[in-house]
Structure 1
Amino acid sequence: MIEVTDLRKEYGGFTAVEGSSFSIERGEVFGIVGHNGAGKTTTLKMLAGLIEPTAGTAVVAGHPAGAPAMQRRLGFLPEQSPLYEEMTPLSYLEFFADLYDVPSAVASERIDDILDRLDLEHRDRELGNMSKGMKRKIAIARALVNDPDVLIFDEPASGLDPLTTNYILEFTSELSEEGKTVVFSAHNLFHVESICDRLVIMSEGTIVARGTIDDIRSAYGGRTYHVTSTPGAAGTVVGPDGVDAPVAEYARENGHCRYVVTDMDGVDAVRTAVEAVGGQVTDIETKTPSLEQIFLEVADEATA
């Protein structure tokens, strides 16, 4: 659905995006994340055809980015999306449907359906008198009024309350289940982790990690097992040297011992060593790094 090859964007002597390549399948929610200035928004704008790349290509829905045929199959939600505040939701969306040459009867039914799904009331109230969450829902509806195959959402839930945020994330997942391709960017990495099928992490204009959340987690930290035990006879503690397993961490806490190992063989080795000196394993906890923890590690490595 989207094919990006060696995409590059320069502004004067500054390179905002350098050699980005990735592909996105139909029905995927694909995340693009990175710190401020990493090249995320520039990449999204090139995909949307709003700015031309210095080099490389982006093909969206079978057409070059920016081509009129592509624009008709695209819905774009920028991070900042001012509305015509003297208009009502209905008049505003009807205006944009007309720009896309959507027949009036089709537009009316589609607009009602979208607003129903977004649970938006007060459809005759002027946009200037609506809350930030309601305005964001209207902006999302505008991106859908032409029934696009591809959606680009840049910070769709930025600054919204938790309830509205959750609603928008669930709605985004529903769109992908219906076969729409969604390119998604957000500073809140929990949001990215909760809905994205795959993602790329950008730093200083370059893609520095890519794949599913599990792929990236395996490459940067992976799963660990935290094993807690009591000391053995007469307070004997088995340190890392006494455990035939890769121990990433070892500490004494509140009279107990805590080991961090990387696999179940390590857990078994800890249990055997602890029991050999009269101790007992009291807890085994599985932990995986969050996307935010991974992002910080990847970003640190990329800028080092």
Structure 2
Amino acid sequence: MISVRGLEKRYGDVAAVDGVSFDVAAGEVFGLVGPNGAGKTSTLKMVCGLVEPSAGEVEVNGLPAGDPEMRRSLGFLPEESPLYDEMSPRSYLRFFADLYGVDRPTADDRIDAALDRLDLDARDRPVGDFSKGMKRKVAIARSLVNDPDVLVYDEPASGLDPLTTNTVVEFTRELADDGKTVVFSAHDLHHVESVCDRVAIMRDGEVAARGTLTEVQAEHGRVEYRVFTDVAVDGAEPAGDRYATTVDTMDEVEAVRSAARAAGGGVVDIRTRESTLEDVFLDVAGA
């Protein structure tokens, strides 16, 4: 699991991350979302021990971030992940397995299993000949050669075509189903909704909202009622042969009903719309 407490990262007078705290349970998919510059990447790099915090604490599986033993149990996928273009996926992944001290038979089994699940058949061609999506799959496989308990992915599907994106997103969920802990950042909220157990929305280096999707929507979202009447009332807009009034509470719904009756008509339909995660994101993140 991951424990983040009071995490800060300052560059001079600029606070890239300012007092961030959250926990991620074993086997959970945790999404970190927010606009560009919100502090997501800096937070993930501090979780991985790649950037020294200005303040605060991070523990991964009970070990401080940056501890050599912790790093052996973690796989990291940065947003930009250059590969060695002259190497094939198989030789490239074997190289990284060697760095982790993984024996060759075990490494080959893990490499083949990861590439099978990612639908990457070209394993002996130079990586330099690959598309961006194929390279991303190799980079994801690299994060798995040490069989880590915790995976930290920064924009794993960034810039990929829809088919490859779907493969990567489904694979992320499969990793959690296998018992791995996954933390990832993303801009596409559809991906977050489809795979995350919980999310944290960041804004200006802080966590502005956190919880399950249902909890975040309940706390920060709202419900709208679109009331259709057969006569015009104050605030209504024409909607075909009817009139529509949008209100926020059931008391206001009843007020529209009363106004329609007073005008000699009535309510003919009521439709409810709840905030989506995107609505909440736009409100909370101020995007």
**What TM-score do the two structures reach when normalised by structure 2?**
0.92
User: Take 2:7 and 2:251, find their aligned partners in 1: how far apart are those partners?
Assistant: 44
Local SS of the residue matching 1:3: strand
Give the C-alpha shift of residue 266 in structure 1. Answer: 6.7
Map 1:224-263 to 2 at 5 A.
Answer: 224-229=224-229, 231=230, 236-239=231-234, 250-262=236-248
CA contact (8 A) 2:227 2:271 kept: yes
Q: Choose from 270, 274, 282 the match for 1:288.
A: 274
Give, as a single letter, the amino acid of the residue that structure 1 aligns with 2:113: D
CA contact (8 A) 2:4 2:59 kept: yes
Q: Which residue does 1:216 correspond to in 2? A: 216
Map 1:123-272 to 2 at 5 A.
Answer: 123-229=123-229, 231=230, 236-239=231-234, 250-262=236-248
CA contact (8 A) 2:85 2:128 kept: yes
Local SS of the residue matching 2:222: coil
User: Take 2:9 and 2:208, find their aligned partners in 1: how far apart are those partners?
Assistant: 17
Give the C-alpha shift of residue 225 in structure 1. Answer: 3.4
Give, as a single letter, the amino acid of the residue that structure 2 aligns with 1:185: S
User: Take 1:223 and 1:75, find their aligned partners in 2: how far apart are those partners?
Assistant: 40
Give aligned pairs, total.
Answer: 286
Q: Which residue does 1:247 correspond to in 2? A: none
Q: Does the C-alpha gap of structure 1 residues 275 and 10 become closer, same or farther in structure 2, counting only changes over 3 Å?
A: same
Give the C-alpha shift of residue 255 in structure 1. Answer: 3.2
Give the C-alpha shift of residue 267 in structure 1. Answer: 6.0
**What TM-score do the two structures reach when normalised by structure 1?**
0.87
Give, as a single letter, the amino acid of the residue that structure 2 aligns with 1:36: N
Q: Does the C-alpha gap of structure 1 residues 56 and 281 become closer, same or farther in structure 2, counting only changes over 3 Å?
A: same
CA contact (8 A) 2:17 2:206 kept: yes
CA contact (8 A) 1:155 1:185 kept: yes
5+ long unaligned stretches in structure 2: none
Give, as a single letter, the amino acid of the residue that structure 2 aligns with 1:95: F
CA contact (8 A) 2:90 2:111 kept: yes
- When the two chains are superposed, the root-mean-square deviation of aligned CA atoms in Å is 2.1
Deviates more, 1:191-200 or 1:64-73: 191-200
Deviates more, 1:200-209 or 1:154-163: 200-209
Give the C-alpha shift of residue 20 in structure 1. Answer: 0.8
Local SS of the residue matching 2:143: helix
User: Take 1:157 and 1:25, find their aligned partners in 2: how far apart are those partners?
Assistant: 23
Instruction: Work out the percentage of aligned pairs sharing the same amino acid.
Output: 58
Give the C-alpha shift of residue 272 in structure 1. Answer: 7.5
The superposition leaves residues 149-205 of structure 1 with CA deviations (integer Å, 9 ceiling, x where unpaired) of 111110101110011101111110111111111111011222222221111111111
Give, as a single letter, the amino acid of the residue that structure 1 aligns with 2:232: V
CA contact (8 A) 2:221 2:279 kept: no
Map 1:88-99 to 2 at 5 A.
Answer: 88-99=88-99
CA contact (8 A) 1:77 1:153 kept: yes
Give, as a single letter, the amino acid of the residue that structure 1 aligns with 2:278: E
The superposition leaves residues 115-151 of structure 1 with CA deviations (integer Å, 9 ceiling, x where unpaired) of 1111101111100001111000000000111111111
Give the C-alpha shift of residue 271 in structure 1. Answer: 6.1
CA contact (8 A) 1:16 1:205 kept: yes
CA contact (8 A) 1:271 1:281 kept: no
Give the C-alpha shift of residue 254 in structure 1. Answer: 2.6
Q: Which residue does 1:244 correspond to in 2? A: none
